[in-house]
């Protein structure tokens, strides 16, 4: 029975029918079965106690027993079990993480498998839950539910770990335990609802467990369509996908609204982009590709035409976040965040406290396409040109001429990337009546000609 159920603790009397307690523990010791044990005995002879110590017995209690004797012994065992679980969990998590990173080596793998698995020759399953929209406490409770399951107690070679960096709960379990585990955990999985997506795959190559994990991450996208279920490759094969066409026109409208600093239109077109991806049964990998494509193009567009805004957004690592995203809702949230961050960064570009400079910048924004001058604006503000020039240097960090030039070139970049207008038309639209002069100024400050910039 002990061999079948693998208990944490065995309490036995020395005097037992068929086989006495010491003989049984001796046989377990010979078979290298590790189990905590307490012996109850009416014999106080030293030879019995010495034998018990040799078999690794945790406690030897003499009859008659008081309740406090039993409670004291059980508390000791409970402390030992907690410490062992902590050490085992920590070590199994470390090994599991190495395997999932593809860091397992031939010479180490066999030893590590022998340490973690009671029978490395069995068939195993890798199960992963992705709690992308969960709080730490929610993820911790899910881990506790898994570790406290009856199946986990029945199968000691089932190992589970919570990886906070990726918000994933990963379990390695014997195939024979999988059905019982999913049945027992069904309530917790269903209760997690849309906050969790689950996927599983058989372990086929222990040295490439990282590839199995990559497969599970692609399955998360399908798991989103089946909340409360654990998906496998069957869902991808049964998925009736529709032909997909990337919404180029919607992307163009989003970029145009961004370059015009029209936040309301940009928001509307982005919501239309989301709706386009959701209205039909497109294959999840195609949806992922569409979100990645729009993210890369928006960030590239900002890098080209709004460098100051791009530099504020770049540390937020939106592109990296989108590359790691595993669900459509997560991708949608990231893209919404990019747009809101763009609008916030654009609003802070000219965060000037001086009223006169604010008025001057406002005038430039309204009349940059005209032949405006420092003297004209100074006269409008009832200031001397010299004083206005000093204010620009102090408040903005550049002189008036440089600010006006950079402002015009910024709009020229937007027009080059966001429209099909000819270069001479763009030159006139941003305040340069001489297109040759515009070309020279553009190349001196941007490093390439307007035509070359458009082709980048």
Q: With pLDDT > 70 as the criterion, what percentage of the chain qualifies?
A: 86
- Tell the burial category of 446 from Cβ atoms under 10 Å away from its Cβ (0-12, 13-18, 19+): middle
Residue with tokens 């430039």: 364
- Say yes or no to pLDDT of 163 above 60: yes
Q: Residue 182 and residue 230: Cα distance in Å, rounded? A: 8
Output the CATH code of domain 87-231. 3.30.70
Model pLDDT, residue 312:
77
Mean pLDDT of 158-186: 88
pLDDT digits 0-9 by tens, 236-268: 766 666 788 899 999 888 887 877 677 788 889
Model pLDDT, residue 161:
86
Give the residues across from 171 on adjacent strands.
127, 160
Q: Which two tokens stand for residue 419?
A: 């429209």
What mean pLDDT value characterizes the chain?
A: 81
pLDDT digits 0-9 by tens, 191-240: 766 788 899 999 988 888 889 999 998 888 888 777 778 888 776 766 66
Range with lowest mean pLDDT among 122-126, 131-135, 256-260, 339-343: 256-260
- Ordered DSSP codes for 101-162: TT---HHHHHHHHHHH-S-TTS-EEEEEEE-TT--HHHHHHHHHHHHTSHHHHH-TT-EEEE
Model pLDDT, residue 397:
79
Q: Residue 85 and residue 89: Cα distance in Å, rounded? A: 6
Mean pLDDT of 334-353: 69
Model pLDDT, residue 200:
93
pLDDT digits 0-9 by tens, 42-56: 765 556 656 666 667
Mean pLDDT of 1-29: 73
- Say yes or no to pLDDT of 352 above 50: no
The domain covering 2-65 belongs, at the CATH homologous superfamily level, to: Response regulator (3.40.50.2300)
Q: Which two tokens stand for residue 450?
A: 């307007």
Are 157 and 197 a contacting pair, CB within 8 Å? no
Range with lowest mean pLDDT among 27-31, 67-71, 163-167: 27-31
**Domain map of the chain by residue range?**
2-65, 87-231, 248-347, 355-455
Q: Which two tokens stand for residue 43?
A: 């014999």
Closest listed residue to residue 169, CA positions, set 201, 146, 150:
146
* pLDDT: which is higher, 43 or 136: 136
Q: Which two tokens stand for residue 370?
A: 């005209």
Q: pLDDT confidence of 126, banded at 50, 70, 90? A: very high
Are 200 and 187 a contacting pair, CB within 8 Å? no
Q: Which two tokens stand for residue 285?
A: 């990998």
Mean pLDDT of 93-109: 77
Model pLDDT, residue 255:
81
Model pLDDT, residue 54:
67
Mean pLDDT of 289-309: 82
Range with lowest mean pLDDT among 5-9, 291-295, 424-428: 5-9
- Say yes or no to pLDDT of 428 above 80: yes
Q: pLDDT confidence of 290, banded at 50, 70, 90? A: very high
Model pLDDT, residue 240:
61
* pLDDT: which is higher, 319 or 306: 319
DSSP 393: H
- Say yes or no to pLDDT of 85 above 60: no
Q: pLDDT confidence of 130, banded at 50, 70, 90? A: very high
pLDDT digits 0-9 by tens, 382-411: 888 888 888 888 877 788 888 889 888 988
Q: Residue 131 and residue 139: Cα distance in Å, rounded? A: 7
**What is the fold, at CATH topology level, of the domain defined by 355-455?**
Arc Repressor Mutant, subunit A (1.10.10)
Model pLDDT, residue 299:
85
- Say yes or no to pLDDT of 291 above 90: yes
């Amino acid at each position: 029975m002990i061999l079948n159920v693998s208990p944490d603790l065995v309490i036995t009397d020395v005097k037992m029918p068929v086989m006495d307690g010491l003989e049984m523990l001796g046989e377990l010791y010979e078979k290298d079965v590790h189990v905590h044990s307490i012996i109850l005995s009416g014999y106080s002879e030293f030879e019995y106690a010495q034998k018990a110590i040799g078999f690794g017995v945790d406690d030897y209690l003499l009859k008659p027993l008081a309740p406090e004797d039993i409670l004291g012994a059980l508390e000791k065992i409970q402390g030992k079990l907690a410490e062992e679980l902590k050490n085992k969990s920590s070590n199994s998590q470390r090994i599991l993480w190495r395997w999932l990173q593809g860091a397992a080596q031939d010479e180490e793998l066999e030893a590590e498998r022998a340490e973690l698995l009671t029978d490395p020759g069995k068939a195993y399953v890798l199960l992963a839950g992705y709690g992308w929209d969960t709080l730490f406490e929610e993820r911790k409770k899910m881990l506790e539910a898994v570790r406290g399951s009856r199946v986990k107690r029945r199968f000691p070679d089932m190992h589970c770990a919570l990886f906070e960096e990726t918000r994933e709960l990963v379990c390695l379990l014997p195939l024979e335990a999988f059905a019982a585990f999913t049945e027992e955990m069904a309530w917790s999985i269903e209760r997690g609802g849309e906050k969790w997506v689950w996927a599983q795959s058989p372990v086929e190559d222990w040295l490439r467990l990282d590839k199995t994990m990559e497969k599970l991450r692609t399955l998360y996208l399908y798991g989103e369509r089946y909340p409360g279920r654990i998906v496998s490759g069957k869902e991808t094969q049964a998925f009736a996908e529709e032909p997909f066409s990337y919404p180029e026109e919607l992307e163009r409208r989003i970029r145009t609204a961004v370059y015009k600093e029209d936040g309301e239109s940009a928001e509307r077109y982005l919501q239309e982009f989301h709706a386009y991806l959701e209205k039909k049964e497109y294959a999840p990998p195609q949806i992922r590709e569409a979100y990645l494509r729009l993210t890369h193009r928006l960030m590239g567009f900002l890098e080209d035409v709004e460098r100051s805004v791009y530099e504020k957004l770049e540390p937020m690592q939106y592109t990296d976040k989108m590359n790691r995203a595993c669900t459509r809702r997560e991708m949608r949230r990231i893209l919404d965040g990019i747009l809101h961050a763009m609008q916030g960064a654009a609003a802070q570009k000219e965060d000037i406290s001086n009223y006169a400079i604010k008025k001057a910048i406002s005038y430039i924004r309204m009349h940059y396409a005209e032949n405006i001058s420092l003297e004209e604006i100074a006269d409008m503000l009832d200031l001397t040109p010299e004083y206005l020039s000093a204010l620009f240097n102090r408040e903005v960090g550049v002189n008036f001429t440089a600010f006006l030039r950079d402002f015009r070139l910024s709009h020229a970049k937007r027009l080059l990337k966001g429209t099909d207008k000819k270069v001479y038309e763009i030159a006139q639209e941003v305040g340069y009546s001489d297109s040759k002069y515009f070309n020279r100024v553009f190349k001196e400050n941007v490093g390439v000609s307007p035509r070359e910039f458009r082709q980048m």
